[in-house]
Structure 1
C-alpha cells in the first residue's frame, strides 16, 4: 500500500477517534464545513483558483494534529512510525520563546504530489527537562518517563517490517493503523500519584501533561477553514468559547502564512496512581486554521519584524488582554506589508507555482517572466504554507494552559540536540518551497519555449 494511502487511513481513524473523545470537535467540523461552503459560494474566483491549484479536493481532509513526547527515544521511534505514512520532519520550532519547555518539528508529506493526496501533519514537541529549575523534579520526571513505552510491541514489529520491505501490504497497513492509533488515545488513568502530579503541574502544566500519562494523547486535530473570522464568530453563536484573538497576521486580501484560533481545553477526569478519587486535568482543545501563501526568506523576515513591532507597541502592553486593541494594533503595523498576489510575487516576498495557461500561445522570445504573465501565457499560483509559526503555536498553547497574554520571552533554541534525539536532520521548509517554485517555473518556461528566462532568473 502506498504511504499516502496509509496516511489517509490513519488520519481518518484519528479523526473518528477524536470525534468520540472530544464531542465539541464534531460541532467544530460541522461549523468549518458550513463556513467553507458559504465562502466558496460567495467567492467564485477563489473556488476557480483552488480547483486549478488542486487545493479544493484536499480541503475537506485537511487536518493537523499535535502531540508531545517526553524522551529522545520516544521522538526517535515516533519518527519511524510517521515515516511508514510518508510523513517526515520539516522545520525546527523553539517554543521556549513563550516560556514553554519544549522544542518541536512538523511531521508531514514533503512532495507536492503527496500533499495533494493527503496533507495530514502532526506537530510534535519534545519535552525539555533541561529547562526545569527544580533538578530533583526533573530527575523524577525522567525516571517516570523511562518506565513507559508509547508504541506497542506489535506496532514496532510492523514498523520494522516496513523498513525492511520498503512498505506494508494492505492487510499489514490496516493492522499498523489500528496499533498506531493506540499511541495517541486518551487514557484517564494517570501513571503518577496525585502528589507527583501536583509538583509537575506547579512546575509547568505542560510538563504534567507529558509526564503523567501512558502516552502522547492527541492534543487537538485542526480543520482548515477559508474564513477564520467567520468561524470565530460562529463558535460564539454555537456556545463555544474561542480564545481572545486570532493568532498570526491580520485579515488581508492575499492571505499569508497561517492564522489560528482555538476553543478552551476540556477539563477531563483522571484517576491518580494509588488513589480511588478522581482528579481533573486540562490539556486537549479544539483548533482551527486558515492557511495563506508561503513567504520567502525576505517575506518571512519582514513578517517577523512586523510582528515584533506589534508586540513592542505600547498600545499592546497597556491593553494586555484587550482583543480589540491588539487586533487594531496588528492591522496598523501590517498595513505596511505589501498585499495582493501580484505585489507579493513582484517583490519576492512569497513562493508561487507556475503553470502554462490553457490555450497559451506566445511567439518569439520574452524578455521576462512578467511579460509572460502579462500576456496571460503563464499563470502564477500562490503556494500554500504547509508549516507552522512558533509564536502562534505558543500563543495557542498558552491560551489553553491558562494564559492568553502576549508577553515576550527569550528563546533557548537547541536544534542540534533535537536532531540528535530525532536521529536525523529536519528538512528546511524554505528549501522545499523554493525547489518546487523553481521546478514549476522551469517546466512551464520549457513548454513555452522560453528556457532562457529560467537561466537568467536563476542567476539573478
Structure 2
C-alpha cells in the first residue's frame, strides 16, 4: 500500500491551503504572482548569489501561515494537527508587550526543525493564543462570557485529530487516509459561512479587533498566508504600482548594503470581506469584516543571542533618533545606524559570533599533504572550509505586532492600571502539552554539528571554534 510521509503531507497541506486562500482572498494570488516575478528577476540579475539563503525552488514554494485560537485546549489540538506534518512549536512571542494597541495574544510558531526537513518544505504557521485572563483587556464579566463562548465551540473534528495522532506516531499515512486528513485539515481553516453574532463580535471588537477575530466567531481560519520574496522593497513598489494598498512600512531591519539578517515583512491592507451577520432580533443581514490580509517576507541570516542583543539595541537607537527627528525618514535613520554598528560582511558576522553559519569542507581545499589548522577562522581563511549562512526560520515579535496593528480597524482598549498576567515559554509549553523549543538552541546545534563533521573529516582532535554562540 502506498504511503505519504510527513514532509509530503506538509507540502501538500501548504499547497492546498495556498489554493484555498487564493480563492477566498484573490489579492493574495496577485501577491504570489508578483513575488514570483520579483524572484525570477532577482535570480537573473544576481545568479547563484540570489540562492545564498536557499534554493530558488525552496524560496518559491515557501509559505508561512497565521492562525489564532482561543484556549489552551484548542492550542493543544492544533499542535496535534501540525505534529502530523512534522512541525513543532518553536519560540515564544508576547505580542501584548510588543504592540502599542490592544493585541491580547501570546504566540509560537509551528515549523520543521531538522535542516533536511526545512530544505524539503519549510512551511511554518505563526499561531496566536488569546489571553482572556489578562485584566488589562478583559474585565471579570467579559472574561467569563468569553471563556464560556470558547468552551462551547469545536474547531477540529475528532476524525482529524485521530488521523493526526496516527500520522505523528507512524510518521506517514496510507494514501487514502492522507487524502482524508488533508481534506479535513484544510477544511478546518476555511472561512466559515456561519452567521456571526454581530452584537457579541462588536462587544469584543471594542476591546481588540484581534480578540473579536478569535473569540467572536465559532471557527478559526487562516488570518494570512505569506510567500517569500528575494527583494521585498521591489515587491512593495510593484504591488503599489498595481493599485494594491500596502501598509505604511516594511517591518524589521532596514534595507542596507550589508548582509540580510533576520526577517523583513510587509503586507497589503486587510480587505473588507462580506460576511453574514445575525442581528440582535435574530434576523440574518449582510455585513463585512476587515481582519484578513496578505503578508510577504524576506528572510536573512539567523543571529546569535549576542547578535540579537545588538539588533535590539540598534532598533532602540533608531526609535530614539526618529523621535527626535520626526521629519527624517525612519528607514534612513536606521540604515545609517546599521552601517555604523553592524558588521558589513558575512565573514565579520561569523568572526564576531553575531550570526549562525554551517561549515563544510571546500571542494578545492589544499591537498598537498599539509596539516589543516585547528581554528575555524584559519580553516576558512586558508580555504579548507566554506561557510554557509543559516536562514532565520522564526519571527520578530515587534514586526508581528506591527503587521497586526497596521491591519486593525481601531486601537481597542487597554487598562494599564491593571497588572498584566505573566506568560512565558514554560507556561506555553504546559498549555500546548509539548516543549516549546528555543530557536537559538536549534541554530546553535546546526552550527555545532557542522563543525563536528568538519573535525571528523579532517581528523582534528581539537578544533577551536568561532566565538561561541549562546
Superposed pair shares fold, TM > 0.5: yes
TM-score tier by shorter-chain length is over 0.9
Partner of 1:259: 264
Superposed, 1:37-436 pairs within 5 Å as 37-47=40-50, 49=52, 55-97=55-97, 98=99, 99-131=102-134, 132-163=137-168, 165=170, 167-191=172-196, 193-252=197-256, 253-273=258-278, 274-313=282-321, 315-316=322-323, 319=326, 325-335=329-339, 336-362=341-367, 363-402=370-409, 413-415=422-424, 416-436=426-446
Q: Relative to structure 2, which stretch is displaced further, 166-175 or 427-436? A: 166-175
| Deviation of 1:403 (Å) | 6.4
Equivalent-residue separation in structure 1 for 2:61 and 2:408 (angstroms): 28
Unaligned runs of at least 5 residues, structure 2: none
Work out whether residues 354 and 378 of structure 1, in 8 Å CA contact, stay in contact via their aligned partners in 2: yes
Secondary structure at the counterpart of residue 128 of structure 2: strand
Work out whether residues 94 and 411 of structure 1, in 8 Å CA contact, stay in contact via their aligned partners in 2: no
Change (3 A) 1:403 1:346: farther
Partner of 1:444: 454
Equivalent-residue separation in structure 2 for 1:229 and 1:245 (angstroms): 10
Equivalent-residue separation in structure 2 for 1:36 and 1:223 (angstroms): 11
Change (3 A) 1:258 1:49: closer
Change (3 A) 1:245 1:455: closer
Work out whether residues 6 and 167 of structure 2, in 8 Å CA contact, stay in contact via their aligned partners in 1: no
Change (3 A) 1:55 1:412: farther
Q: TM-score, normalised by structure 1?
A: 0.92
Secondary structure at the counterpart of residue 104 of structure 1: strand
| Deviation of 1:89 (Å) | 0.2
Secondary structure at the counterpart of residue 359 of structure 2: strand
Q: Relative to structure 2, which stretch is displaced further, 246-255 or 165-174? A: 165-174
Partner of 2:33: 30
Equivalent-residue separation in structure 2 for 1:21 and 1:459 (angstroms): 43
Q: Relative to structure 2, which stretch is displaced further, 215-224 or 266-275? A: 266-275
Work out whether residues 375 and 465 of structure 2, in 8 Å CA contact, stay in contact via their aligned partners in 1: no
Change (3 A) 1:228 1:108: same
| Deviation of 1:418 (Å) | 2.1
Change (3 A) 1:48 1:194: closer
Aligned pair count? 448
Q: TM-score, normalised by structure 2?
A: 0.90
Equivalent-residue separation in structure 2 for 1:325 and 1:259 (angstroms): 17
Structure with greater helix percent: 1
Unaligned runs of at least 5 residues, structure 1: none
Change (3 A) 1:378 1:30: same
Q: Relative to structure 2, which stretch is displaced further, 271-280 or 123-132? A: 271-280
| Deviation of 1:271 (Å) | 1.8
| Deviation of 1:241 (Å) | 1.2
| Residue-by-residue CA offset, 1:423-449 (whole Å, 9 max, x unaligned) | 122001000000000111111232233
Change (3 A) 1:160 1:86: closer
Q: Relative to structure 2, which stretch is displaced further, 354-363 or 83-92? A: 354-363
Change (3 A) 1:236 1:455: closer
Work out whether residues 190 and 214 of structure 1, in 8 Å CA contact, stay in contact via their aligned partners in 2: no
